[in-house]
Structure 1
């Protein structure tokens, strides 16, 4: 392993893994440091006791919350939280960039507005949706949050009969339901009952490991060092 890097990234989750790919594609020598490990055999990680109760794939460190030591639901494996999330990749609302509009009583004045706008970030949301192969509804059906200008990279599959019944009931009540935008390859998805909090058994759920890290290691100058914790910055 070379010790001469243009960038060293700590953590391989949504931020770290994506930036690692971008820098590597730009021709940089990149090192990605991850405290967790890579899962080789996904079968043991479909067990509810092990994954949900024992939190085997989550960060094993604790913090004190209300006087008790508590473990947080933060991914502790290569890919970080993107290796364990439910695949939902929804854009924010424009109002999310102006929290003071709704929460001025609880926020200091300097936090009322973001220093950047949704429109400035919109091109990067396009890139992220492309990278994670997001499947979504017709954008015209999605209200209150922002959507791509044209369409999502992939289509969502038809709803199951029970969900179709729910959709009709919601529409009858005067609301506008929509299918959550999901970073899931539905051509490969096994439709198993376990998704959020579990490791995907065949990598059909988009993660930085599947969509960014492995490809960058194979095609660019990215090196990954797992089981390695950054203790301080010098």
Structure 2
């Protein structure tokens, strides 16, 4: 489990940059997802489909915004999710993750990896780092990001608190804490990864009572 935990941490480290770990970099440079289809439970069908999309340049480019609610972008992320879910071994899982990390959109990659680790038997026992550590710009405002960049460039350690000032006169800001609270947001996104709306039983098991659970979870946020 320690090795698997390290692999996941290294794969998610600075995802908007190239791989910084020699073992994963070598895998990314030499691995072929279609070379040995016996390592997949579907005979390599998912890997073949994703490679076709990649080679035909139909995937979202890196350094572009990813949205789960964009049907095409969600489809692309789930292509990688399919590949990872059909891996028979952890070696297959990591090899594919390292290969596609260097070639797919960062947001799509992160979403696919998180959900695959959560739902695959190969991911049992692995503690995923909170998303606000991997994609902090999704959970903080531009002021905090700018201060962090400045501290990095000047090599000056600092602690920055995100502040939000709203007014009840603006109806849109009366529930602004839902969008500004980091803890609430990370809980929300993680819950939706545990019970994704796009889930199909063909992924290996049935997620029971999804509608009831989503109603209950959102009701708890407002009590």
TM-score range with shorter-chain normalisation? under 0.3
Q: Which has the higher contact order (CA 8 A, sep 6+)?
A: 1
More strand by share: 1
More helix by share: 2
